[in-house]
Amino acid sequence: MSAYGTPGGPVVHDPMTLPADDNVNAYTFCVELKAGQWFLQKGKMIAYYGAIEFNGIGHGRLDRLVRTSFHSPLHASDWVVAEGSGKMLLADRAFDVNSYDLDDGNLTIRAGNLLAFQPSLALKQSIVPGFLTLIGTGKFVAASNGPVVFMEPPLRVDPQALVGWADCPSPCHHYDHGYLTGVMGGLRAMTGLGGASGEEHQFEFVGAGTVLLQSSEALMAEQPTGAVPSAPGVPGGGGAAPGGHGPQASGAPRLPGQLGDLQRRFGL
């Protein structure tokens, strides 16, 4: 036993006292690998004991694993596979980290919040842009700005506080537009003059399930999830398909003399 670290001093961890697949403190999570594998986001490993190898998703030997549990090929470069035996500490910019167990379930999470997951889960890109869906049975680790709160639908949440949702409630946008109609209301909404509460836009969840919120409105840095292939009927797919069945013309060139949003708001 070494002489360093004394009773009364800070808690000293070694491979024996580190927890297995549990939090060391609110900001650090310890993963135990026994000749197993974990997917993790690049750069979230802070230290490890034992023999662990980190390989990019594109590594040839991992092809089979990637085929079964990684279905988000377009942001594969942000993920690595840790492989080997030992204990590994994960942390993310001193944010709160927590682990969650899925038992034959599904959970959709903001891409920037997901830190790591077991290969028994399958990671897929959500139809909702910027979100990822995990399906299956296993454990994953997610970061949040402040502790996570679990809520039951029906409810409306602030977009910045939303971390994710489980078991398929239906997420949709909700606008409190009651006082934002008419000419004055339109001007107010656009300029903020005359008072906008900043809470006119929410996400609404109905149906059975759980909604995860972080207890702060500071967003985690967005993690690009990659563009989806542009095909007819795919939301967010770039470029209109020939024949006019592509994405809605939100980015269509505006004709001269058109007032755009303003025009629509005033009902012209």
Partner 1 sequence: MFRLQGSKVLAVDMTGDAVKAKNGSMVAYDGQMAFKKLTGGGEGLRGMVTRRLTGEQMTVMEVRGQGTCWFADRASEINLVSLRGDRLCVESSNLLATDAGLRTGTTFTGLRGASQGNGLFTTTVEGHGQAAIMSDGPAVVLRVSPQYPLVVDPGAYIAHQGDVRQSFQSGVTFRTFFGEGGGEAFQIRFEGDGLVYVQPSERNTIAGDL
Task: State yes or no: residue 184 binds partner 1 (CB under 8 A).
Answer: no
> Which residue's CB is nearer to partner 1, number 24 or number 166?
24
Which of these segments, 51-59, 121-129, 223-231, 234-242, binds partner 1 (CB under 8 A)?
Answer: 51-59
- Shortest separation between residue 227's beta carbon and partner 1, angstroms: 16
Q: Which of 33, 66, 91, 161 binds partner 1 (CB under 8 A)?
A: 91
Binding of residue 14 to partner 1 (CB under 8 A): yes
Q: Report the C-alpha gap between 39 and 123 in whole angstroms.
A: 10
Choice between 33 and 102, CB closer to partner 1: 33
Exposure string of 28-39, with b = 16+ CB inside 10 Å and e = fewer, is bbbbbbeeebbb
**Residue 102 beta carbon to partner 1: minimum distance, rounded to whole angstroms:** 24
Least separation in angstroms between residue 108's CB and partner 1 is 24
- The tokens of 164 are what? 């994710």
Phi/psi for 53 (5° steps) reads -115, 145
Q: Which of 47, 172, 193, 227 binds partner 1 (CB under 8 A)?
A: 47
Specify the length of the chain in residues.
268
Q: Does 42 bind partner 1 (CB under 8 A)?
A: yes
Report the SS3 class of residue 25: strand
- Which of residues 19, 22, 25, 68 is near partner 1 by CB under 8 A? 25
User: Which residue, among 68, 236, 210, has the nearest Cα to 138 in the 3D structure?
Assistant: 68
* Amino acid of residue 66: V
Measured distance CA(176)–CA(156) in Å, rounded: 11
By CB under 8 A, is residue 194 in contact with partner 1? no
Tokens of 255: 């004709």
Q: Of 68, 77, 160, 170, which one interacts with partner 1 (CB under 8 A)?
A: 77
Do the beta carbons of residue 164 and residue 107 sit within 8 Å? yes
Q: How many residues bind partner 1 (CB under 8 A)?
A: 42
Integer Cα distance of 133 and 127 in angstroms: 9
- Which residues of this protein are in contact with partner 1, per CB under 8 A? 2-6, 9-15, 24-25, 27-28, 40-49, 52-59, 77, 80, 89, 91-94, 97
